[in-house]
Structure 1
C-alpha cells in the first residue's frame, strides 16, 4: 500500500498521471484498470487488422465509454497513444521528446515523403504484427512486471533490495530475448529515418544499401543511427549476451527467486553472469518501453501524413 501511495504521488508531481500532450495528441482523464483496458484495446486492434470495420468501430466506442468518456477516442492510434502514455509514463515521454527533436525537421521533407510511401506499401502491416505480439507477451506476464512498470513510469528509483514476484519466471525468462529480436526487427524505421536526416535517400546508408542493412544480425542494426542521440536512445537497452541466453531459455533463477544467472558467449560457453531478478525485470521493461516508443513515433509520423500506421 505504501508503494502504491509513493507511485501515485510521484506521478502527480511529474504530470504523468494525466495525459502528456506529446506529438499534439489529444489528452484527457482515464478510468479503469490497465489490464482490463489492454484486453479491450487488444480486441479493437485485432478487429482492425482483420478489416472488420463495423466491429472495430464498436470496440472503439466501448473503449470511450469504459475509459475515456470525458474525451472520446478518435481512432485506434489515438487509443494506443493514450494507453501507452499511462502505462509507460515518464520514460516514454522522455524518449518521444528526444526522437521528436531529431525528426521534427526531417518528416516534412520530400525525401521523407518518399520513404513514407515505401513504408505504407511495404512495412506498415507486418510491423503491426510484431508490435501486437510483443504487447501480448508483455501482458501475458504482467503480474511479474507490474510493480516495476509502475515505479519506472512514475520516475521512481529501483532499489536493489526491492522484492518482486517471480511467479512467472518460466515465461519472463524468454521475454528479453524475444523483445530484443523485435527491437532489432523494428530498428530499420529509425535507420531509414536517419538516412534522410543525414541528407541521403532513405535507402542509402553511409556504406550499405538497404538490402545489405536488412541482412545484418539484429544486434548490428543499431549502429546505423548510433551517432544520432535522440534515435539511439530508443535502442540503448540492448544487451546481446543476455539476449542470447534469454532467447534460448538459458537463464536460471535461484531457489529464493531473487537472483538470475546465465552463461555468456556463443552457445552459452562463456563466463557465468548474474543479476537480481529485479534488475532483470527492469531491463525487460526498459526494452519494452523502447519498442513502444518506436511504435508511437511511427503513429505520430503517419497520422499527419495520412499514411497507414502499424496497426
Structure 2
C-alpha cells in the first residue's frame, strides 16, 4: 500500500520528502553534537579557568611571601637604623667629652722621670695614653683593630712592609678606622737598616712610599727599630733623628712597655699589669706593645688594659699625631 502511495507521488514530492528526511537527520545530529560541543567548550574553559585560578593563587602566595620577607627586612633595617642612631649619639657624646677635656688641657710641663725619660706633666690631672703597636700588619693586627673598634678607642701602629692582599687591606683599615699609621721599617733587619744613614733613609722611604701607594696617606711619624737607644746602630742616632726632624718627621720611643717582646713570653695578665703599673707613673704615657705574628698574648691583654682605663675620668686614650709631644730615650732637645 505504501509502495502504491509512494508510486503515486510526483518526483517533486518525493524529492521534498527525501530532503525533509535529511534535514530531520541533520537536525537530530546537531541536537546531539551541539550539546557535546558546548560541554567540551565549557569543560576546556573550566580547565583553563582552574589553571588560571591555580596560577593566580600561587602568585598570591608568592606575593604574600615576598611581602612578608620585605616586611621582615624593613623591620630589621629599622632596628639597625635605631641601633646605629643610638651608637651615633653615644659616639657624639664621647667625642664631645673628649673635646671638652682637650679644651681644658693646659700646656704640658716638661719634666724628667726617675729613669731619665721625659714626661709631660698636665696640671689638670688628665693622663694622656697613647697605645702603640709595632711590627704589623699581621692577623693579630686585625684582631686588635676589632677590639679597638669594640671599645671605641684609637691607637697608633708603627708598621713594617707587608705586600700581601691582607696586609694592604689592614693598612687601609687603620686609616679608615681613625688610627695613626706610622713608619717602623720596611725590612725590620737591624743590621741592614743601621748599616749607614743612607741605608736607614732608603728603608724609610721604601716603606713610606709603599704605604702611600696603598692608602694615599703619607705618614709623618716614625719609631726607630729598637728605639733611639738601641745598641745595634752604626749610625749616630742623634744625627739620624735630627735629619728626620728636618724632613718634618716626628720620632717616638716609649716610656711604658708591656714587655711582650723582651724574650720573657709574658702571659696576657702580666702584659696588662706591666702597662697599668707604668701608666700610674706618667701623665703622658706612650705604651709599647707588639702586633707581630706571635703576639696572641698581647691581643688577649688588650681588653684587660682597656677595661681598667676606659671609664676613668682622668684618662684620655689617643692616637699619636704630629702634635703629640715626642717621647725619646736619648736627649735630642735643644
TM-score tier by shorter-chain length is under 0.3
Q: Which has the higher helix share?
A: 1
Q: Which has the higher strand share?
A: 2
Structure having the higher Rg: 2
Q: TM-score, normalised by structure 1?
A: 0.23
Q: TM-score, normalised by structure 2?
A: 0.22
